Structure 1
Amino acid sequence: MTSTADYIGGMTWGWTGIRGTWTGPRAERSMELMAERLNVNWTAVTLAALQDHAQATEINFREAPTVTDDEVRHAIRKAKELELKVCLKPVVNCANGTWRAHINFFDLDVPCEPKWSDWFASYTEFILHYAQIAEEMGCEMLCIGCEMVQTDRREQEWRQLIAAVRSIYSGIVTYNCDKYQEGEVQWWDAVDVISSSGYYPIDAWEEQLDRIEQVVAKFDKPFFFMEAGCPSREGSQYIPNDWGLSGAPSEETQRRFYESMFEHSDKRIWVGGFMLWDWPAHLYEESDAAANDDYCMYGKQAEQTVRDYYISKIVEANKEGAAK
């Protein structure tokens, strides 16, 4: 990921990874349609495991509703059959609905209180489990965390985790920081690629890209948006991270957001691509697309926008690769 020759034209597949949904004809057809309709060259196979709440210290990744290891292997294998590069992305969620960004503990371990040391021990076990699968299955990239805002300050623990991951996984390692947090992570030097969630208002992209560019220059690392997208819903272009925003379905809103995001990002050669959000394992019927107000662009206007953009970027990448 140092030039357009390494461009990531990707889509997130399978969220949240509910047990029983990642195998069978419906799931396989979903991934086939993603590849066909969007012309992606990458996918982030993305699953969630649960801890009970934001101050719990045990991540229950072997239990339902998390997908089984066989389901994870099946999804990776299917993506490889479609000639896609794969980023395996295990994510932790809170079972009580609290957003993972609020997972937090006292800075100092205190007896009789939940502790960072206990949480990171469980989180490390969780990530290393999937790092082993990523190595076994030949995944080109592993994402070791997603939008863990309150954990970002725990630099020593993250560095220790990354070192442990590298002892068993030989591919690209990245961390997906949350929107606006790119400058808050002080351990970007430990990963191979900086990535973040690009849920920026449609009229704020130049400002935010200016800010992110300083971080990329400081650490001299490749960069891409591990997440980016907008619901097909009126008003979502101004707050694309709010999946619960009230508003009528609007394909035009989603399409305009993607057009703007791509236009602004194209001016920055350091933006190495997108892993857009998102494409479920079980798709809605295409005839219902106009009434669907979620992030998935299957059958919507933005589908063609994404396809055309990825085709142009991948053609550009192929030309650059051939010239080298």
Structure 2
Amino acid sequence: MRGITLPSWNTDDYAGPQAGTYLRQIADTGARWVTFTPTWYQDTVTDAAMRTTDETASDASLRHIIRLAHEAGLKTMLKPHVDLTKGGDRAEIHPGDADAWFAAYERFITHYAGLAADAGVEQFAVGTELAGTSGDGAHWSRVVAAVRERYKGTLTYAANYDEYRKVAFWKDLDLVGIDAYWPLGDKPTTDTARLRQAWQPIVDELAAFSARTKRKILFTEAGYVSQRGSTTAPYSWTVSKRDGDAEQAAGYEALLATFDGKPWWAGVCWWMWDDWPDSGETAKKLAYTPHGKPAEKVLRRWWLRGE
């Protein structure tokens, strides 16, 4: 998978005038996949249900952008998210009533499974970084079974890098998905060799995990902000306020050079392409996007070789 995520933050982002432009730009990097992230919300980590808000991509906009992606020659992954309206990490969601929460979650995720089936989406993630629940194999197995009734394509779950070993339902899925935000050191660096060395124990760990689960491993997310220190905390939007284009590019280069050709590695979907106009909280020059930066040149070099 050579992919890039195009998230949405508002109801009509995916129907906006920039949608076609962004997809063409993504395809021009050599990407062959794009991921979309419709998001529902709950107020607190113990709530028993999630709901749409004015930040949830509308179904019409989602169908629209999936069609545009296919027209641009891109395959699609749908990766619905649950977030918190009052701030906090979705990994900390730990419902007070597990039965009620999973019943609500099943309604949420099967809604998108049906939409994915209708729209010809090629791959589907049944959840993202829900570490407070992903050890509950019985509930999750029922959720996955309900998804499979509606959607016949490839299924994964996007576990955070510090969560994937605790996920109890990999046997129910086709791919192990990991959001690959491992810190690669405690000091900023643009030394690709040093970063590749930092990846080596993780490579060994993942190869063994793939063999144990009999599943290939997909990096459902990976990325680095354009900030000095981004490789020390790839999961952070706010590592520093200092330009880090070179460090971002080194992070891209090290990951692709390390994992390319590994028979158990299914590829990567980078987080993320440009924010929609007027929606970004982080200035583009400091944000995760590789667009117009040295990291985009790294992608083109790796993904357009031989084409």
TM score, norm. by length of structure 2: 0.90
For the pair 1:185 / 2:185, whether they are aligned, the reply is no
Q: Which of 257, 260, 278 is the matching residue for 1:263?
A: 257
Identity of aligned residues (%): 29
Deviation at 1:27, TM superposition (A): 2.2
Q: Aligned match of 1:45 in 21, 36, 39?
A: 36
| Equivalent residue for 2:88, pick from 98, 107, 123 | 98
Residue 278 of structure 1 aligns to a residue whose secondary structure is coil
**Does the C-alpha gap of structure 1 residues 281 and 234 become closer, same or farther in structure 2, counting only changes over 3 Å?**
closer
Task: Pick one of 113, 124, 130 that aligns with 1:142.
Answer: 124
Question: Out of 193, 212, 222, which is 2:216 matched to?
Answer: 222
Whether the aligned pair in 1 keeps the contact of 2:230 and 2:244 (CA below 8 Å) is: no
Distance 1:279 1:188 in 2: 29
* Contact 2:229 2:244 (8 Å CA) reproduced: no
Query: Are 1:251 and 1:302, in contact at CA under 8 Å, matched by a contact in 2?
Result: yes
Pick from 9, 17, 21 the counterpart of residue 29 of structure 1: 21
Which secondary structure does the structure 2 equivalent of 1:163 belong to? helix
Task: Provide the residue aligned with 2:183 in structure 1.
Answer: 201
Partners in 1 of 2:263 and 2:144 — Cα distance?
A: 27
Q: Could you tell me how far 1:234 is from its partner in structure 2?
A: 0.2
Aligned equivalents of 2:173, 2:285: Cα separation in 1:
37
Structure 1 position 165 matched with structure 2 position 165:
no
Structure 1 counterpart of 2:17, one-letter code:
P
Q: CA deviation at 1:283?
A: 6.0
Is the 8 Å Cα contact of residues 27 and 73 (structure 2) preserved in structure 1?
no
State the TM-score, normalizing by the size of structure 1. 0.86
Q: Distance in 2 between matches of 1:208 and 1:239?
A: 16
CA shift for structure 1 position 181: 2.2
Once the two structures are superposed, the pairs formed by residues 239-254 of structure 1 within 5 Å of their partners are 239-254=233-248
Q: Offset at 1:239?
A: 1.1
Letter in 1 for 2:202: Q
- Taking CA–CA contacts closer than 8 Å with sequence separation of 6 or more, which of the two structures ends up with the larger relative contact order? 1
Structure 1: segments with no counterpart, 5+ residues: 1-7, 106-113, 316-324
8 A Cα contact 1:35 1:82, kept in partner: yes
Match of 2:62 among 51, 72, 76: 72
Give yes or no for contact 1:31–1:281 (8 Å, CA) kept in 2: no
1:266-277 paired onto structure 2 within 5 Å: 266=260, 268-277=262-271
* Structure 1 CA distance for aligned equivalents of residues 261 and 75 of structure 2: 25
For residues 237 and 199 of structure 2, the distance between their equivalents in structure 1, rounded to whole angstroms, comes to: 19
Range with bigger deviation, 200-209 or 173-182: 200-209
What is the rounded CA distance, in whole Å, between the counterparts of 1:78 and 1:180 in structure 2? Answer: 35
Question: How many angstroms does 1:277 deviate by?
Answer: 0.4
How many residues of Structure 1 are paired with residues of Structure 2 in the alignment? 292
Q: 1:216 to 1:305 in 2, by over 3 A?
A: same
The amino acid across from 2:212 in the alignment is K
Q: Distance in 2 between matches of 1:16 and 1:118?
A: 27
Unaligned runs of 5+ in 2: 185-194
Could you give the per-residue CA deviations for residues 189-213 of structure 1, whole angstroms, max 9, x where no partner exists? 1001111011123343111121121
SS in 2 for 1:144: strand
RMSD between aligned residues: 1.8
CA contact (8 A) 1:198 1:225 kept: yes
Aligned partner of 2:64: which letter? H
Following superposition, the deviation at residue 267 of structure 1 comes to 5.8
Q: CA deviation at 1:282?
A: 2.0
Match of 2:190 in 1: none
Partners of 2:124 and 2:284 in 1: CA distance: 35
Note closer, same or farther for the CA distance 1:12–1:291 as it changes in structure 2 (3 Å cut).
Answer: closer
What whole-Å deviation, never above 9, does each CA across 1:33-73 have from its counterpart, x for those lacking one?
Answer: 1112x111111112221111111112113x32201100110
Q: Structure 1 pair 43/291, CA: closer, same or farther in 2 (3 Å)?
A: closer
How far apart are 1:281 and its partner, in Å?
Answer: 5.2
**1:20 shift after superposition:** 2.1
1:55 aligns to 2:49 (yes or no): no
Matched, 1:83 2:83: no
Residue 20 in 1 paired to residue 2 in 2?
Answer: no
Residue identity matched to 1:41: R
